[in-house]
Amino acid sequence: MLIIGSRLVGTSILSIQAGGSIGYLAEPIINPDNLKILAFIASGPLIPKSANILDAKSIREYSPLGVVIDSIDELVTPDDIVKIQKILALNFKLTGLKVETKKGSKLGHVTDFTVTDDNFTVQQIIVKRPILKSFVDPELTISRKEIIEITDYKIIVKDEEKTLKSRAEKEDFVPNFVNPFRKTEQDYAPADTKKPG
């Protein structure tokens, strides 16, 4: 199942040991190398400020009620996991990044993303278009397969022309309808040559 990234923020953290909510997810920590959520910064009155990192691997299940973990002991400090510490030092934020094609055409900036509920891997980015292009398409949804490179300031995706061309070729669309308002060749023929019919 795909989850919209912005909906994860504020999701309750449910502890089996405590038998209820111990806090909520405040912010995802995303690895820019593979666009996977490694952990979440947790918040709430029961969450200690020193140990407020919830490793995504500790989440047993995601449900509409919240994310389920075994106990509050699953929360760690940023120093406990070296990989998370390095990602935090990068201060990488997916939302807000500019999106451009390989040729340099500006597509807009990331406003949201979708992730899978089983391993929290980003599957799509949602891009808000610039003002002039927003009249045609206010938002674009770009698959992770279209992403070529991620820098500190932007995401580079495959060129629009290639993407559109490959989609059109895959679809092989053949219209199977008749326009009732379009005249046929028979309608334009002189009255004496019209076929009965």
pLDDT tens per residue across span 69-92: 999 999 999 888 888 888 898 889
Q: Judge whether residue 189 has pLDDT over 60.
A: no
What was the pLDDT predicted at 167? 42
Burial class (CB in 10 A: 0-12, 13-18, 19+), 165: exposed
Q: How far apart are the first and last CA of the chain?
A: 55
Predicted TM-score (pTM) of the model is 0.74
Q: Measured between alpha carbons, how far is 163 from 135 in angstroms, rounded to an integer?
A: 21
Domains along the chain with CATH numbers: 2-90 (2.30.30.240), 98-168 (2.30.30.240)
**Region 87-110 average pLDDT:** 91
**pLDDT single digits (tens) 5-46:** 999 999 999 999 999 999 999 999 999 999 999 999 999 999
